[in-house]
Chains A and B, each alone.
Chain A
Amino acid sequence: MATENLRELYQEVILDHSKRPRNFGELPGANRQAHGTNPLCGDQATVFLTIEENVVKDARFVGSGCAISTASASMMTEAVKGKTLTEAESLFRRFHALITNSSEPGETGAEELGKLSAFSGVCEFPVRVKCAALAWHTLRAAMQEDRRTVSTEASK
């Protein structure tokens, strides 16, 4: 049982993205960016976005953190590219519901989350939820043009 939970948490796709994060690096010409930190563990993420006519044209990130936070940031940048701001916000909410296991019935269709549903195992590890959530909170701040540093300790 214990090992199953662990395999759920560290799925292949998560390990793959943590070892070879996609869209890693600064984004020249980005018109939105935000910085997030998890003060308890020191994880850092900066998310860069190029937004044109309410569509996320490009997304990249830099930062340092554990496998869960790195993979989450990597897969997030892939997932939001091409999405409208409204769609990206909706994805944020679904993802958040997934990792905190707080979804309403029918709210988090795996088909809509796609590869992101690999993070479903995180809800079994309450102390690791913040790792998965950091990049997404930072994304949201970037979309909302919030210049304050995002903290996982403030965003309940």
Chain B
Amino acid sequence: MTTPAAVIPPQRVKDCARKHAYDFEAVRQDFPILRQIVHGRPLVYLDNAATAQKPRCVIEAERRLYEEYYANIHRGVHDLSMKCTEAYDAAREKVRRRLNAAQAEEIVFVRGATEAVNLVAGSYGRSRVGQDDEILISALEHHSNIVPWQMLCEEKGARLRVIPMFETGELDLDALDALLGPRTRLLAITHVSNALGTVIPVREIVARAHARNVPVLVDGAQAVPHAMIDVRDIGCDFYVFSGHKAYGPSGIGALYGRRELLEAMPPYQGGGNMILSVTFEKTIYNEVPYRFEAGTPNIAGAIALGAALDYVESLGLDRIIRHEDDLMSYATDSLSSVPDLRIVGTAREKIGVISFVLEDIHPHDIGTILDHEGVAIRSGHHCAQPVMQRLGLTATARASFGLYNTREDVDALVGGIQKVIEVFA
């Protein structure tokens, strides 16, 4: 008997899958946690910028690994070790494809975006930055793209400089050229602001930095879940992201580095896997990317991240982008209609995030009351205190969207905010 799939050309099968991709019931069914009841209400999860929920296939990928083929990688000659190594390497290839890097060797698995920035600061930065040199960042950075550079500057006697931002949440790029000086050793900049949702024109920034021979690291933690990423088109030297915000597990992420840069960089940590040979006199380091993956890595995390990337691809990233665009416009309009609500960050191009404040009501009180309506948002400084200071705020409430959110979720948010206003009336 011929199965239906066998008689439909492969492309048509894919098209069918896509047609059903935004059958919302089907997509939401893929995420078991969305069935949770919180304080007697169905969960409305709008804290995706903090971390995204996981589809069943990601959870399954980890379970299957541990139940069927788990072993250490790049070590054993036995069957399980080979299967496991193959799956781990395949995950690296999936990350390469997602970022459109030229080679899988340019992808280093790390714990997350934070570790990736620390790796570049600790390896590239330490070997290239000296007394009175400068590192340039922007006013929109998450603490993870500030503190590692501050630590490096402190150690080397270097200076941290900052591209300023406007009230809208956009960067003042007229200031960029003047900040790119002869002592600038690196520019580290976010792709999308985690606090305000601003999309940064990284391609243009990279071109301007490269014109001054300044390499660029792009923090893609908030971009990878929501946008097509092409590191070769952006032209950046490093690109970092976390798996957990992109529907993968926590504790895994990736660093992309241009191969010639990675090859010239000293190791970040020493240990097993990162060596070719060790004697007590001399150690010869392994090739990239293994040189930067000392010790047994997060094997299950990498494989499950690969499953998350596959899942997004199966839904169609273009469809996800269109859907989230629609949600952002709908949410912006709905929230704007609430009296006394002010949206913080009004950049022309935003993705994934809407930060807001209510007149005279603190974001934590908003967060607690929304939680009682089953609506999970983040309130606070979003690990971006300099952004808050620049805007004269101590905190905002932040709703952030993922591929499984719906207009009904936005309606629940707005209904919850009405409740907040009632409580404080």
Contact = CB atoms under 8 A, between A and B. Distances in A.
Given A2-B39, A5-B372, A41 B364 contact: yes
Contacts of A22: none
Contact of B372 (A6, A64, A66, A68): A6
Contacts of B334: none
9 contacts: A3-B372, A6-B369, A10-B424, A19-B360, A40-B380, A41-B379, A42-B380, A42-B385, A67-B424
Given A10-B365, A40-B380, A66-B362, 14 more contacts: A2-B372, A3-B372, A10-B369, A10-B423, A10-B424, A15-B423, A19-B360, A41-B380, A41-B395, A42-B388, A42-B394, A43-B394, A66-B364, A66-B365
Contacts of A125: 368
A123 B185 CA distance: 51
Nearest to B373: A2
Contacts of B363: 66
Contacts of A68: 364-365
B41 interface: yes
Interface string A112-132: 000000000000010010010
A65 interface: yes
Given A40-B380, A42-B381, A42-B385, A64 B40 contact: no
B361 interface: yes
A128 B364 CA distance: 9
A3 B419 CA distance: 11
A42 B424 CA distance: 21
B380 A67 contact: no
A1 B40 contact: yes
A64 B380 contact: no
Contacts of B424: 10, 15, 19, 67
Contacts of B369: 6, 10
Interface in B221-263: none
Contacts of B380: 40-42
Contacts of B361: 67
Contacts of A66: 362-365
A67 B388 contact: no
A44 B365 CA distance: 16
A1 B362 CA distance: 24
Interface string A84-101: 000000000000000000
A42 B395 contact: yes
Interface string B378-397: 01110001001000001100
A9 interface: yes
